[in-house]
């Protein structure tokens, strides 16, 4: 079906303001009388906190308040069962950068000076930085109440893996290791807190998750939810790194309460590196069995995750790492065992894909290795095993739309398999990778999205949503969905988002849920409003409501566009008839039984997306430098609500994947981060980006709004293995530890020479 708004590559609604530099981010906010906050951090990776004396800091002219751990007695975490971190340390510090105290002063220089005047007495303790070492008997205990430093574990077992291996024609075992990488949003973590005379608190903060962060803040602070209004200004990037509460939010609130003035607490770039969250590094031991024709018969995987000093998002990374193994290929027998280890490094948390990209890198690499052992084309092996529409995975995921085969063919098409045999002589190679992802999970009962539509008398529409636009364009997508359903133009929709005092409850912007879940809620709210307006128009035109159509800003009789009213006139008629629907509401929750979190069994999402990427690289054998020449990205997004924004997500995945494949790695020495700046932490730059081609595969999912499903995190899964497989194709050495930097590659090439 041809739509008038959905399916069109319309510019993002916030693009003009951002292009002109008019957008006000949290870091730009300035309130009358506002103070500036700074946080004192631990210089030690592990120590008992004996005493914190802030008396000298309080005497410094310009200092208005100091808070310590004594004033933050309740722990916090992403979920109640992961609440193991104090906003400011009380008993111990557990990594270099752990928060100890915070000050508020009239300017940033005074606040920074005040930190140097706080006297802290530490008792240094033995530390452990390696997750495998941390799990060994006798390792330093990071949390006294967690013996063995096991922060969490997840196991699942479907089918009969041992029987599958016995029946396999070939079985391969390999270890893969991924690095810690960080999110690097252009806007760092920032918060501005202000209390009013009635004891009500307003917090402006750069977050992806306003309602959960509000809940965690009020729980820890001992105040009711309605006393805290959390407002999210435009967010300058998140990538999962802003999905939970952080110490700067707590500290700004407590300092503002003490000082009786607003307090802004924005982290420096170094603090964002050292003291927020990082993509969790994994050690992956993978064993896969296949038949001679490449059919996968069994998979056994063991994972040790470096969780850092606190649980953050807890077991989710272990659950994701195991559960998503059933996609994008048919897996009749799967076994998985994962452990999250505490270490004296910064906490690991969510980052785009939340554990799945690491696992795809491992499996897609091993699948290419198996294909070579069997003498098979890796493209044909993937096509042989690809999940199809109507499949039910071994753990109960129901695939109601699937364009994986089309994705694989879409990226493999530009490559000539015969030419690939000759490319190694020129050190050029071609490789591919695939992935599958959810369109928002239903983990427990009560997961629901809501939206409100308010119709204005001038013929414009206010859409209220709790979802956060973190730069990906969700406000535009939701506006397009509302406009299409209401039959108006996008510029008639004003999106009001992410304000707990105004907008309806929303779970979060994460887990690739906004288009499917919030989009359906918006569509339902718009349909509710339209149905009421249709009754008004039907009376005016003396026809039946079911004979009417709404499109391009007009409500008219089907087949007779001239017999109708503009949307503005519809609103006038509704007002005159005293029938105006001031507010229409909509909600959505997938009709699913949540999966068993302990076993991993059960359908997790209303829809699953699929992707395939192919990369062409050139390797300099003398320097070890890898140049990515071209990446072709294909993504099954159901229906592309805005094709231009889907392509932007695919291009972004190439940038992020290239960085994690070749460049990005947080490096520590005894717990001290060695590269806490954008200068030292290498990311792709414009001169290193390859030629990029996007292939959008539309499968019109039955659960999605207008057939749409996710096009965010799932697009990140395939880039890294495509690049790594291409490197092997170019020079014949297999790299099983990320990133593939020149030193690693040169060492492998020297070993190849013998």
| Residue 417 confidence (pLDDT) above 60 | no
Judgement on whether residues 288 and 391 belong to the same structural domain of the protein: yes
Question: Does the pLDDT of residue 589 top 80, yes or no?
Answer: yes
Which of 96-100, 312-316, 452-456 holds the top average pLDDT? 96-100
What is the helix, strand, coil percentage profile of the chain, to 5?
Answer: 35, 25, 40
Tokens, residue 546: 């079911």
The pLDDT value recorded for residue 421 is 52
Q: Are residues 541 and 652 in the same domain?
A: no
* Best CA proximity match to 252, nearest among 199, 194, 312, 197: 194
How large is the average pLDDT for residues 257-274? Answer: 98
Over range 564-592, report the average pLDDT. Answer: 89
Same domain for 72 and 203, yes or no, is yes
Please, which residues bridge with residue 38 across strands? 103
Q: How many domains does the chain have?
A: 3
Cβ 265 vs Cβ 191: under 8 Å: yes
**For 514, which DSSP code?**
I
Residue 753 banded pLDDT, cuts 50, 70, 90: confident
601 with 460, same domain? no
Asked whether residue 458 falls in the same domain as residue 564, the answer is yes
Among 495, 488, 476, which Cα is nearest to 549's? 488
Same domain for 336 and 432, yes or no, is yes
pLDDT tens per residue across span 707-736: 999 999 999 999 999 999 999 999 999 999
CA-closest candidate to residue 611, choices 370, 366, 290, 352: 352
φ, ψ of residue 526 to 5 degrees: the values are -65, -40
Strand ranges inside 212-333, DSSP E: 228-231, 263-266, 278-279, 282-290, 296-308
Whether residue 2 is contained in a domain is answered as: no
| Cα–Cα–Cα angle for 575, 578, 582, rounded to 5 degrees | 70
Give yes or no: residues 412 and 521 share one domain. no
Q: Are 609 and 697 in contact (CB under 8 A)?
A: no
Give the pLDDT band of residue 9 (cuts 50, 70, 90).
very high
Is the pLDDT reported for residue 652 higher than 80? yes
Residues 109 and 250 in one domain: yes
Is it the case that residue 83 has pLDDT exceeding 90? yes
Domain hosting 283: range is 278-442+596-753
Q: In this structure, are 462 and 525 located in the same domain?
A: yes
Q: pLDDT tens-digit profile of 308-350?
A: 999 999 999 999 999 999 999 999 999 999 999 999 999 999 9
Decide which of 572, 588, 604 is a domain's last residue. 588
Question: CA gyration radius for the chain?
Answer: 27
**At 671, which CATH number?**
3.30.365.10
Task: Pick the last residue of a domain from 546, 564, 588.
Answer: 588
Question: Is residue 131 situated within a structural domain?
Answer: no
Question: What strands lie across the sheet with 99-105, from one edge to the other?
Answer: 63-68, 99-105, 35-41, 263-266, 190-195, 201-205, 228-231
Q: Do residues 483 and 606 both lie within one domain?
A: no
The answer to whether 343 and 308 have CB atoms below 8 angstroms apart is: yes
3-class SS of residue 433:
strand
Q: What is the CATH number of the domain that holds 103?
A: 3.90.1170.50
pLDDT average, residue stretch 44-48: 98
In tens, the pLDDT along 357-385 reads 999 999 999 999 999 999 999 999 999 99
Would residue 745 count as lying in a domain?
A: yes
Question: Cβ contacts of residue 584 below 8 Å, gap of 6+?
Answer: 452, 453, 455, 525, 526, 528, 529, 532
pLDDT(422) > 70: no
CA distances from 731 to 48, 609, 630, 718 (A): 51, 33, 17, 21
């Amino acid at each position: 079906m041809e739509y008038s708004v959905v399916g069109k590559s319309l510019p993002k609604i916030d693009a003009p303001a951002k292009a002109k530099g008019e957008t006000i981010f949290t870091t730009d906010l300035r309130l009358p009388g506002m103070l500036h906050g700074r946080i004192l951090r631990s210089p030690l990776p592990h120590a008992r906190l004996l005493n914190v004396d802030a008396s000298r800091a309080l005497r410094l002219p310009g200092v208005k308040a100091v808070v310590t751990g004594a004033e933050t007695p309740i722990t916090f975490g992403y979920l109640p069962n992961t609440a193991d971190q104090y906003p400011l340390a009380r008993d111990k510090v557990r990594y270099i950068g752990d928060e100890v105290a915070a000050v508020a002063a009239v300017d940033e220089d005074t606040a920074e000076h005040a930190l140097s005047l706080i006297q802290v007495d530490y008792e240094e303790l033995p530390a452990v930085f390696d997750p495998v070492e941390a799990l060994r008997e006798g390792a330093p205990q990071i949390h006294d109440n967690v013996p063995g430093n096991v922060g969490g574990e997840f196991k699942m077992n479907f089918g009969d893996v041992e029987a599958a291996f016995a029946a396999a024609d070939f079985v391969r075992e390999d270890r893969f290791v991924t690095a810690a990488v960080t999110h690097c949003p252009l806007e760092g973590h920032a918060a501005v807190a202000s209390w009013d005379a009635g004891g009500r608190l307003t917090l402006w903060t750069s977050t992806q998750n306003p309602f959960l962060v509000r809940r965690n803040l009020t729980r820890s602070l001992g105040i009711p939810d309605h006393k805290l209004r959390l407002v999210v200004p435009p967010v300058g990037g998140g990538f999962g790194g802003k999905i939970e509460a952080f110490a700067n939010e707590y500290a700004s609130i407590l300092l503002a309460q003490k000082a009786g003035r607003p307090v802004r607490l924005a982290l420096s770039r170094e603090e964002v590196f050292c003291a927020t969250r990082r993509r969790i590094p994994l050690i992956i031991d993978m064993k896969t069995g296949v038949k001679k024709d490449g059919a996968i018969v069994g998979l056994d995987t063991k994972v040790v995750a470096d969780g850092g000093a606190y649980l953050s998002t807890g077991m989710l990374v272990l659950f994701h790492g195991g559960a998503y193994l059933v996609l994008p290929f048919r897996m009749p027998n799967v076994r998985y065992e994962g452990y999250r280890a505490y270490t004296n490094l910064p906490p690991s948390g969510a980052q785009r894909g939340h554990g799945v990209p690491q696992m795809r890198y491992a499996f897609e690499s091993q699948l290419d290795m198996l294909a070579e052992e069997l003498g098979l084309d890796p493209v044909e092996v993937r096509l042989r095993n690809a999940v199809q529409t109507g499949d039910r995975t071994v753990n109960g995921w129901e695939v109601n739309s699937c364009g994986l085969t089309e994705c694989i063919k879409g990226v493999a098409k530009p490559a000539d398999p015969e030419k690939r045999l000759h490319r190694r002589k020129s050190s050029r190679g071609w490789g591919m990778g695939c992935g599958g992802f959810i369109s928002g999970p239903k983990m427990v009962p009560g997961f629901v999205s809501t939206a409100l539509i308010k119709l204005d008398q001038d013929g414009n529409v206010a859409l209220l949503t709790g979802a956060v636009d973190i730069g990906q364009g969700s406000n535009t997508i939701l506006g397009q969905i509302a406009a299409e359903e209401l039959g108006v133009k996008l510029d008639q929709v004003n999106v009001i988002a992410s304000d707990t005092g105004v907008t309806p409850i929303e779970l979060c912007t994460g887990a690739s849920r906004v288009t499917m879940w919030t989009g359906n809620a918006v569509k339902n709210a718009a349909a509710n409003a339209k149905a009421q307006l249709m009754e008004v128009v039907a009376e005016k035109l003396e026809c039946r409501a079911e004979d009417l159509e709404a499109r391009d800003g007009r409500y008219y009789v089907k087949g007779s566009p001239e017999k109708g009213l503009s949307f503005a006139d519809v609103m006038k008629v509704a007002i005159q008839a005293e029938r105006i629907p001031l507010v229409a509401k909509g909600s959505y929750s997938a009709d699913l039984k949540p999966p068993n979190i302990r076993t991993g069994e059960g359908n997790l999402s209303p829809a699953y997306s699929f992707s395939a990427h192919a990369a062409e690289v050139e390797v300099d054998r003398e320097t070890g430098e890898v140049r990515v020449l071209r990446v072709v990205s294909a993504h099954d997004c159901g229906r592309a609500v805005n094709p231009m924004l889907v392509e932007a997500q695919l291009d972004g995945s190439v940038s992020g994947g290239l960085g994690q494949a070749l460049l990005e790695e947080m490096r520590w020495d005894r717990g001290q981060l060695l590269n806490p700046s954008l200068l030292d932490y290498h990311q792709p730059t414009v001169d290193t980006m390859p030629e990029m081609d996007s292939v959008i595969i539309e499968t019109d999912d039955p659960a999605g709004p207008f057939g749409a499903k996710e096009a965010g995190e799932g697009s990140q899964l395939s880039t890294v293995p495509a690049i790594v497989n291409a490197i092997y194709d170019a020079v014949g050495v297999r790299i099983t530890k990320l990133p593939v930097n020149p030193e690693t590659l040169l060492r492998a090439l020297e070993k190849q020479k013998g």
